[in-house]
Amino acid sequence: MFMRLDGAIEIDKKRKRWFEKLVFYPDSMLYGFWIFFRLFFVMVEFICYPYGAAIKFPDDDWFKNLLIGSQAVFVVDILLKFFKAIRIEADEREFITKLNLIFENYYQGELLSDVVLTIPWGFLGTMLHKSLRFLHMIKALRFFAFLQFFTPKFYMPHIRNVFNKRLQKVLKDHRVNNNKN
């Protein structure tokens, strides 16, 4: 089933089941806020876990709650990715919204790395032996999620969208001015 953003035209007119209605577009504003919220916790993990591996984690409750909250955010993020529509690369405005294809794509792609980075390896390792606290450094690998913001694949659709809106406004103003003359 394909849906277009410009009018949400469905090729497959079958009735959607309740869980198929949970599919959302990666361009949605709410998901954009989620990405920046998640980015905060990426930076938290990038700073806190190497510090804890090198020195020691502070005994403060707020610090522990921050790390637990960080884990919760990334578990929710894994769940959200099972329902995020897949952009067809040939056309930025078409998406795959069929759940089995979304599941398969995420399963074959980022799921393993997301799960590995979510498991608290450092805490599990230090339960076995204190010298295994270097396993906290695995969490710092999540910093690569921050680097996605600097790839053209991420920011070019947004730039193209802004450019197209401005171009449409200019063309509309040009037509209005020509009609007045």
> What are the extents of the domains in the chain?
2-148, 151-181
Cβ neighbours around 65 below 10 Å, total: 10
For 6-15, what is each residue's pLDDT tens digit?
444 444 445 6
DSSP 8-class letter at 26: T
Q: Give percent of the chain with pLDDT exceeding 70.
A: 82
Beta bridge partners of residue 23, listed in sequence order: none
For the sheet with 86-87, list strands across it: 2-4, 94-96, 86-87
Would you say 2 and 96 are in contact if contact means Cβ atoms under 8 Å apart?
yes
Tally of CB atoms within 10 A around 19: 9
Question: Using 50, 70 and 90 to split pLDDT, how confident is the model at 41?
Answer: very high
Query: Residue type for 74, please?
Result: F
Contacts of 145 (CB under 8 A, 6+ apart): 38, 39, 42
- pLDDT tens string 52-85: 888 888 888 898 899 999 999 999 999 999 999 8
- Which residues is 2 bridged to in the sheet? 96
